[in-house]
């Protein structure tokens, strides 16, 4: 009788453990593309571009060299060079893939910006203009990105 009760308790414990393990696995797994809620992202994602170039111009209260247009080369969905300079030689988070810009948009939206301006390419769905002003109380934190001359490979 005691052995049967112990077996029953062990079975219940294993069943509960298995149940919670399955729940943990379900809720801890997420797909990268589910994180991005922007409807334009699905248009961009349909094309599955991994190799492309585009020109990036940053608008900010920065030095002129930083705001000059720069050609970004993306291969295997990674930035490989900026204006001919290998990306690993640069230490700047402003140079991103287009997927990276969609992630940037999501991050900034979570901060409840007072101003958000985003324009999209009518064919491929990627952002062509991104501008956020997070707080009117902070001077010069505004930054804008303009993406032009997109060439897929």
What are the angstrom distances between the C-alpha of 45 and each of 9, 38, 94, 99, 151? 50, 11, 21, 9, 16
Q: Count of CB atoms within 10 A of residue 53's CB? A: 16
The pLDDT tens digits of the residues spanning 15-48 come to 433 443 333 333 444 434 445 778 899 999 999 9
What is the per-residue pLDDT for 17?
A: 39
DSSP classification of residue 42:
H
- The model's pTM is 0.73
Nearest CA to 132 out of 152, 149, 100, 107 is that of 107
Q: Which residue has the tokens 């969905």?
A: 77
Return all residues near 70 (Cβ < 8 A) that are at least 6 apart: 55, 56, 57, 82, 83, 95
Mean pLDDT across 119-146:
91
Domain segments of the chain as ranges? 1-30, 32-152
Strand order in the sheet with 127-133: 85-86, 78-82, 70-75, 52-59, 143-152, 127-133, 115-120
Band (pLDDT 50/70/90 cuts) for residue 73 is very high
**What's the pLDDT tens digit per position in 96-121?**
999 999 999 999 999 999 999 999 99
């Amino acid at each position: 009788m005691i052995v049967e009760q112990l077996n029953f308790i062990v079975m219940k414990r294993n069943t509960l453990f298995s149940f919670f393990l399955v729940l943990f696995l379900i809720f801890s797994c997420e797909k990268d593309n589910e994180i991005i809620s922007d409807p334009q992202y699905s248009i961009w994602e349909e094309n599955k571009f991994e190799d492309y170039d585009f020109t990036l111009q940053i608008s900010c209260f920065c030095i002129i060299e930083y705001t000059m247009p720069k050609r970004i080369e993306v291969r295997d969905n990674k930035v490989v060079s900026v204006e001919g300079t290998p990306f690993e030689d640069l230490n700047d988070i402003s140079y991103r893939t287009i997927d990276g810009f969609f992630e940037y948009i999501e991050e900034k939206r979570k901060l409840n910006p007072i101003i958000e301006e985003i324009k999209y390419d009518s064919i491929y769905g990627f952002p062509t203009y991104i501008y956020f002003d997070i707080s009117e109380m902070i001077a010069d934190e505004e930054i804008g990105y303009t993406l032009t001359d997109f060439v897929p490979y």
